[in-house]
């Protein structure tokens, strides 16, 4: 029996040793990409960004197929906070994040480098149940407003409330994911929620309380980052990932692909095709799918850092110095001859002159 004990212990020790050898190569065995969101019904796909399109069109898989590098996607219904949790446990190399979880993760010590901007601008709609008697936000004081706490949606809600002179404390703000909140609007278990309106209105279950058209101070920027560890170890792989995504951004910015793009994104179900058509009307694909880390991106990120602290959504300060790493984007733009393809925005979101 002693022999069995020694054998058993040896097996465990050997197994633990093998587990540590997984990355002892020049190139990674796999590239782990996390997406803060998932399709309706827990399906592994998403929409609304160039990274979502790259997944749907298999661009990264094509890029690394010849090298035998597997691209491993993780779509998290738990959104940005779930991506943070996975990254804290060393399970993520690249990720798409909304502003609030990105800032909170950084504030608690997560180490990543920002590579690309993912999505900007758009309209903001505050929805209430179809039979709501509220005419203004003031009529909802003390009532239940849903948001997915810890995600960019919470910061957007705080900006909207502040714009009209309120704070979260004026309402009962409860946490729900998007699908649950839409269902709760239908059953009138919540009194308000920020989301796209058209499918809810078509079904007659909700109506717009207010609509904020193109206010770059309210909408946020998305971010694509790489872990500092991966970037230090495989810079050439990082460059190929970024170049591939910039190619994708060009496809996503071409008006010829508008309908095809919205059809792809509509597959995820969380925002229907018809809502993409209507909510993106009045915007060019180029301006919303710009990958540039321009003045607007930097100003938006700084604003998110300040707001997260001011709205008491994080406890620690965040210094953005050294956080952005634009060299991969600049190289990709140069290689693809796209230096002037997207127009940079100034800090206020206007086209930079």
Query: Strands, DSSP E only, in 187-295?
Result: 192-194, 206-212, 222-227
Q: Closer CB to other proteins, residue 203 or residue 315?
A: 315
27 C-beta neighbours (distance < 10 Å), count: 14
Yes or no: say if 209 and 127 are a contact pair by the CB < 8 Å rule. yes
Tokens of 233: 């170890």
Q: Which of residues 302-341 bind other proteins (CB under 8 A)?
A: 313-315
- Rounded Cα distance, 305 and 303, in Å: 5
CB of 102 to other proteins, least distance (A): 9
CB of 334 to other proteins, least distance (A): 25
Q: Does 153 bind other proteins (CB under 8 A)?
A: no
Among the candidate windows 6-14, 55-63, 210-218, 243-251, which touches other proteins by CB under 8 A? 6-14
Q: Does 21 bind other proteins (CB under 8 A)?
A: no
Closest to 152 measured CA to CA, from 301, 346, 317, 348: 301
Yes or no: say if 102 and 80 are a contact pair by the CB < 8 Å rule. yes
Angle in degrees, 0-180, between the axes of helices 99-107 and 79-88, rounded to the nearest 10:
30
- Rounded Cα distance, 146 and 30, in Å: 38
Q: Which of residues 229-248 bind other proteins (CB under 8 A)?
A: none
**Candidate list 29, 88, 232, 351; residue touching other proteins; CB under 8 A:** 88
Closest to 157 measured CA to CA, from 195, 104, 102, 207: 195
Q: Closer CB to other proteins, residue 26 or residue 133?
A: 133
CB of 237 to other proteins, least distance (A): 22
- Rounded Cα distance, 16 and 150, in Å: 35
Q: Does 101 bind other proteins (CB under 8 A)?
A: yes
Yes or no: say if 30 and 237 are a contact pair by the CB < 8 Å rule. no
**Candidate list 48, 53, 54, 78; residue touching other proteins; CB under 8 A:** 78
Yes or no: say if 293 and 329 are a contact pair by the CB < 8 Å rule. yes
Q: Does 169 bind other proteins (CB under 8 A)?
A: no
Closest to 255 measured CA to CA, from 222, 288, 278: 288
- Rounded Cα distance, 193 and 273, in Å: 20
**Candidate list 33, 52, 71, 86; residue touching other proteins; CB under 8 A:** 86
CB of 236 to other proteins, least distance (A): 27
Q: Does 95 bind other proteins (CB under 8 A)?
A: no
**Candidate list 130, 239, 274, 284; residue touching other proteins; CB under 8 A:** 284
Q: Which of residues 110-149 bind other proteins (CB under 8 A)?
A: 110, 144, 149
Q: Does 105 bind other proteins (CB under 8 A)?
A: yes
Instruction: Catalog residues that contact other proteins under the rule CB under 8 A.
Output: 1-2, 4-5, 8-9, 11-12, 15-16, 19, 38-39, 42-45, 74-78, 80-86, 88-89, 91, 100-101, 104-105, 107-110, 144, 149-150, 154, 172-176, 184, 187, 189, 255-256, 258-259, 281, 284-285, 313-315
């Amino acid at each position: 029996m002693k022999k069995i004990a020694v054998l058993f212990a040896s097996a465990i020790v050997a197994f633990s040793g093998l587990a540590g050898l997984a990355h002892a190569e020049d190139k990674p065995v796999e590239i782990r990409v996390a997406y803060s969101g998932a399709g309706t019904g827990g399906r592994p796909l998403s929409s609304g960004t160039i990274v979502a399109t790259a997944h749907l069109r298999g661009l990264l898989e094509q890029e690394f197929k010849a090298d035998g590098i597997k691209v491993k996607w993780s779509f998290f219904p738990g959104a940005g906070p779930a991506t943070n949790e996975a990254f804290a446990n060393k399970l993520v190399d690249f990720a798409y994040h909304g502003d609030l979880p990105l800032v909170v993760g950084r504030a608690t010590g997560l180490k990543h480098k920002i590579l690309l901007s993912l999505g900007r601008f758009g309209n903001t709609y505050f929805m209430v149940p179809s039979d709501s008697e509220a005419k203004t936000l003031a009529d909802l004081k003390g009532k239940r407003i849903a948001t997915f706490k810890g995600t960019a949606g919470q910061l957007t809600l705080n900006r909207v409330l502040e714009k009209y002179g309120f704070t979260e404390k004026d309402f009962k703000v409860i946490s729900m994911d998007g699908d649950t909140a839409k269902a709760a609007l239908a059953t009138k278990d919540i009194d308000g929620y920020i989301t796209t309106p058209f499918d809810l209105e078509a079904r007659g279950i909700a109506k717009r309380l207010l609509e904020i058209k193109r206010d770059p101070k309210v909408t946020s920027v998305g971010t694509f980052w790489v872990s500092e560890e991966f970037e230090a170890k495989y810079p050439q792989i990082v460059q190929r990932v970024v170049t591939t995504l910039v190619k994708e951004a060009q496809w996503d910015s071409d008006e010829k692909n508008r309908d095809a793009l919205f059809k792809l994104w509509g597959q995820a179900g969380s925002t229907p095709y018809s809502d993409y058509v209507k909510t993106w009307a009045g915007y060019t694909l180029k301006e919303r799918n710009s990958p540039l880390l321009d003045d607007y991106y930097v100003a938006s990120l700084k604003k998110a850092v300040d707001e997260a602290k001011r709205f008491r959504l994080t406890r620690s300060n965040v210094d953005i110095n050294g956080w952005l790493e634009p060299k991969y984007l600049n190289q990709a733009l140069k290689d693809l001859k796209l230096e002037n393809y997207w127009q940079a925005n100034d800090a206020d979101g206007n086209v930079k002159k």
